[in-house]
Amino acid sequence: MPNAATSAHPTETPALDAIIIGAGLSGMYQLHCLRDRLGLRAQVLEAADGVGGTWYWNRYPGARCDSESHSYCFQFSDELLKEWEWSERYPQQPEILRYMNFVADKLDLKRDIRFKTRVTGAEYDAARNVWHVSTDDGGRFTATYLITAVGCLSTANVPQIPGLESFAGKAYHTGLWPHEGVDFRGKRVAQIGTGSTGIQAAPVIAETAGHLTVFQRTANYSVPAHNAPLSPERKKELMDRIEETRRVMRSTPNGHPFQIVDRSVFDVSDEERRRIYEKQWEVGGLQFRAAFRDILLDKKANDTAAEFLKDKIRSIVKDPKTAAILADIDHPYAAKRPPIDSHYFETFNRDNVSLVDVRSDPIEAVTPTGIRLKSGAEHAVDIIVFATGFDAMTGSLIKLNIKGRDGLPLAKAWEAGPRNYLGIQVSGFPNMFTLTGPGSPSVLCNMPVPIEQHVEWVTDCIAHMRKNGIARIEAKPEAMDRWVAHVNDAAKATLLPEAHHSWYLGANVPGKPRVFMPYAGGMARFRDICNDVAAKGYEGFELTGAERQAAAE
Ligand code: N01
């Protein structure tokens, strides 16, 4: 990277208005907004050879969205909504990838996306008020605005298990799945991890594997998805209710198309509560937690849901020892991202599936032939599937090697955990916007909703800057401090921090600071806060006019 203080740049005019890093949902929509609404010169840089982000990389068996298909798509355009038809209640990865290509083609986005181009560094040049971005193919780009659209769950977390490099079989991480697929037929497969991904993958792997051994460190709840094809009647109903769905999604704390019922767990009798949980179990999916308003707020209320779900595990899984390990859950229900499944617990009733508790007997090493536990027990396998999650929310941003004013690395600014304002801007990094960054509601929501909100807010902000001759926007340190405190308070008002092994806290990556990263105050509230900030002239941001900028140089 050029040193901002000393390097001479041949051209004084920035070649681009904006560089957007990533061509997932957020990068695609940001490009559309900046290019087609504001008329700016925007370029997307994308490491993959296609659009899709998460849905490009996560091609593991069983990969599908846990949001219902009609809500997991852009809402900003009726035309896009009406021209696309989902086939199932929960769309599979290939269908979502097709949808994203449909959107990219429809909006003619691909001509401004440079594929197979990985960003290796970005540095703010204070003298010229531009960002210089370098890429792995030797590319150099300069732009006024730097917008990261790298997703929250895109840096694979492969545990550094001693001996892994000696493994003679094949090892795969679910988030970096080979495009040609993996043939499990007749193979002995180890799956490490039982989060949302592992719970989706295990039943599908078990269908063809010779034997599947699931290595579970933290037992997890799951609710059946009850996935099914969408009938023509249901498709029509969803189409007729576009407006209503959109209204609900914008008003709920998590951006899903269902309301949380406004009643306490303790407003009803034990019998009535049981009946309600049974009904929610039949409805299936993430909606289970919406049965009462206090499930994620009050431990005693949560216990009722947790006990119901543990009972379900014990009733489904036939072997009592396996059932006991699966139901030995140490955190409140939904304090970790709650998985939903298609026959996950039933999978443990198959003859070719076994469960290993690596909480009581941890994995000690990978050997050339399999996995060895601390007790000395050996599990011979041909394939290891790491469903071990991601260096979430901060990993992909830090990896970009971003340097702000005076060469301050983002990694240094976030040494003790992420600090920003509204999840979108970091003091010391002017004109840089982090879409769905830590401190935003993002991962606690149905993602397209926070994505659209963040992109639209950034677009309005940039439009405001250009209209008013503002050269630079930067979060004030005190606004950032207040936001970080507010994010902490919002998390503490819930049971979310009680899941000590959660990636929300960075606990899944050794050495990562334990900071609750997403904003738990709810999407609707977040939207109001952001709108209010903008209405008050971007309160909490330092806005520098072009003249002041020139005088300062
Ligand atoms: O990852 P996770 P994921 N030894 O971090 C275990 C989203 N998603 O890929 O809990 C043994 O949740 C780890 O154990 P522990 C969704 O937001 C969305 O499943 O750390 N085990 C855990 O069991 C989700 O939350 C969809 O003790 C080890 C598992 O690996 C997020 O992605 C679909 C280990 C990791 O679970 C991440 O889910 C799927 C080790 N060394 C996922 N290291 C949609 O629907 C880790 N584990 C859109």
Is the separation of the CB atoms in 336 and 222 below 8 Å? no
Question: Of all atoms in ligand 1, which is nearest to the CA of residue 358?
Answer: 11
Can you tell me which residue has the tokens 């592992």? 198
Query: For position 15, what pLDDT does the model report?
Result: 85
Question: Of all atoms in ligand 1, which is nearest to the CA of residue 388?
Answer: 30
Which residue's CA is the nearest one to ligand 1's atom 13? 193
Residue 388: phi, psi to the nearest 5? -100, 15
Residue 443 CA to residue 520 CA, distance in Å, equals 10
Largest CA distance in the chain: 75
Cα(509) to centroid(ligand 1), Å: 11
Return the number of other C-beta atoms located less than 10 Å from residue 6's C-beta.
Answer: 6
Question: Of all atoms in ligand 1, which is nearest to the CA of residue 159?
Answer: 41
pLDDT in tens, 29-86: 999 999 999 999 999 999 999 999 999 999 999 999 999 999 999 999 999 999 999 9
Record the tokens describing residue 472, joined without a space: 């630079």
Residue 53: phi, psi to the nearest 5? 55, -125
Residues of the chain falling short of pLDDT 50: 1-13
Nearest to 345 by CA among 385, 379, 311, 388: 311
Cα(18) to centroid(ligand 1), Å: 33
Query: For position 9, what pLDDT does the model report?
Result: 39
H or E stretch covering 514: none
Can you tell me which residue has the tokens 């957020």? 26
3-class SS letters over 208-271: HECEEEEEECCCCCCEECCCCECCHHHHHHHHHCHHHHHHHHHHCCCCCCCCCCCCCHHHCCHH
Query: For position 7, what pLDDT does the model report?
Result: 38
Cα(163) to centroid(ligand 1), Å: 22
Query: For position 37, what pLDDT does the model report?
Result: 98
Structural domains of the chain sorted by starting position, each given as residue range(s) with its CATH number in brackets: 16-155+392-552 (3.50.50.60)
Cα(389) to centroid(ligand 1), Å: 4
Which residue's CA is the nearest one to ligand 1's atom 34? 388
pTM above 0.85, yes or no: yes
Which residue's CA is the nearest one to ligand 1's atom 25? 337
H or E stretch covering 479: helix 477-492
Query: For position 412, what pLDDT does the model report?
Result: 97
Instruction: For ligand 1, pick from 93, 363, 388 the residue to mutate: most ligand atoms within 8 Å of CB.
Output: 388
Burial level of 385, CB count in 10 A (0-12/13-18/19+)?
A: buried
Burial level of 352, CB count in 10 A (0-12/13-18/19+)?
A: middle
Is the separation of the CB atoms in 518 and 418 below 8 Å? no
Which residue's CA is the nearest one to ligand 1's atom 46? 388
Cα(196) to centroid(ligand 1), Å: 6
Query: For position 548, what pLDDT does the model report?
Result: 60
Residues having CB closer than 6 A to ligand 1 are 65-66, 153, 159, 192-198, 200, 215, 217-218, 337, 358, 363, 387-390, 443, 501, 503, 508
For residue 155, what are the CA distances in angstroms to 22, 66, 400? Answer: 13, 20, 11
Query: For position 18, what pLDDT does the model report?
Result: 98
Cα(138) to centroid(ligand 1), Å: 34
